[in-house]
Amino acid sequence: MPVTQDQRSEIDALRGTAQPTRRATVASLEEILYEPITVLDHGFIRVIDYMGDDSAIVQAARVSYGKGTKKLLEDAGLIRYLMRHWHSTPFEMAEIKYHVKLPIFVARQWIRHRTANVNEYSARYSKVQDEFYIPAPGQLGIQSSANRQGRGAVLDEAQAAKVIDLLREDAVRNYRNYAWMLNEDDAGAPLDADRSGLARELARMNLTLNTYTEWYWKTDLYNLMHFLRLRADAHAQYEIRVYAEAMLDTLKRWVPHTYAAFMDYRMGSAQISATGLGLIRRMLAGERVTQEASGLSKREWRELMEVLGLPSA
């Protein structure tokens, strides 16, 4: 299950307590504060805390730009300007903290984003729970021939069933051996007096990478958007993308003006090189341009034509 009974009790206690504050709060984010949003089969994200809102970004920008800016631009317009021109520091003024439960192999991909504060569940200190990510059959694809780090066509039904059985059997067997090596109950007490029990820091190395872990992940808004731009992209691995998509909803609740600008200028935009821009101008002027005469590689040409919605041949 995504949350334990103890976690559910803690969530209910936190949500049942209201704190008076003079700080900026966001009603739509308060609605889901502490509540887990289910991701994958046993995972979740939940917003634990946040600081600032759209107004914090505007406030920071106006400090640097001077008093005249307030008369020239509305808040949403200023945020769009900042996003359009790749300003960073105003967006760093707002922060958010998540509690995330995720498979270890997803965590190892996620941790490459080194711009957050992270504290992970310690398998040296505590016993790991027997929860494993088992993909749905529709997510079991063959190795892509065009992308060395991606998947291609989905396995047929029989192959998918065999893979799922292997994943489950390996995870359960390895966890059983992990528990045998620990020789302790959930409270840490020995189960077999004839064995001392292997140290947790050693026994954990036997666990499969689809075992679930948990962490608290705190970052500022600017770096959150950088994470989401990469991980909510259609080319990102499915298992991390679904976490990013759930986080996009929290971004929309938290800073709606920033979210709208982000979706427009980051997620929904395309990057075009100076050479590519020159080619577009030539096309608009009526010139017929070919890949061979464009100065672009075949891949660059194909990507530019995809952006423009034109055939690459």
The CATH number given to whatever domain includes residue 227 is 3.30.1360.170
What pLDDT score was predicted for residue 150? 77
Residues 9 and 95 grouped into a single domain: yes
Residue 281 pLDDT > 80: yes
Positive or negative, the Cα torsion across 79, 82, 88, 93?
Answer: negative
Whether pTM exceeds 0.85: yes
Distance between CA 225 and CA 86 in Å, rounded?
12
If pLDDT is split at 50, 70 and 90, which confidence band does 187 have? low
Evaluate whether residue 181 is within a structural domain: no
Domain co-membership, 265 together with 288: no
Cα dist from 115 to 2, 39, 89, 246, whole Å: 26, 23, 14, 20
Name which of 45-49, 185-189, 224-228, 261-265 the model is least confident about. Answer: 185-189
Residues 30 and 46 in one domain: yes
The Cα 117–Cα 219 span in angstroms is 6
In the predicted model, is pLDDT for residue 205 greater than 60?
A: yes
Q: What count of other Cβ atoms lies within 10 Å of the Cβ of residue 17?
A: 7
- The domain of 288 spans 274-308
Instruction: Look at residue 134 and tell me if it is in a domain.
Output: no
Q: In what order do the strands lie in the sheet with 117-120?
A: 37-39, 43-51, 95-103, 212-220, 117-120
Q: How confident is the model at residue 249 (pLDDT cuts 50, 70, 90)?
A: very high
**Residue 91 within a domain:** yes
Residues 264 and 280 both lie in one domain: no
Per-residue model confidence (pLDDT) at position 65: 57
Tens digits of residue pLDDT in 67-77? 555 554 588 99
Compute the distance between CA of residue 140 and CA of residue 164 in angstroms, rounded to an integer: 9
How confident is the model over 173-186, as a mean pLDDT? 88
**Same domain, yes or no, for 214 and 282?**
no
Predicted confidence at residue 221, as pLDDT, reads 98
Q: How many CB atoms lie within 10 A of CB 83?
A: 23
- Residue-wise DSSP of 39-92: ETTTEEEEEEEEE--HHHHHHHHHHHH-TTHHHH--HHHHHHHHHHTT--GGGG
pLDDT at residue 183 tops 90: no
In a domain, 197, yes or no: no
- If asked whether residues 304 and 255 sit together in one domain, one would say no
Mean pLDDT of the chain: 90
The more confident residue out of 70 and 12 is 12
Q: Residue type at 308?
A: L
pLDDT tens string 143-177:
877 777 777 788 899 999 999 999 999 999 999 99
Active site positions, annotated:
231
Domain shared by 296 and 262, yes or no:
no
Co-location of 243 and 283 in the same domain: no
Say yes or no: 238 and 286 in one domain. Answer: no
Assigned domain for 230 exists: yes
Let me know whether 66 and 113 are in one domain.
Answer: yes
User: How many Å apart are CA 65 and CA 109, to the nearest integer?
Assistant: 38
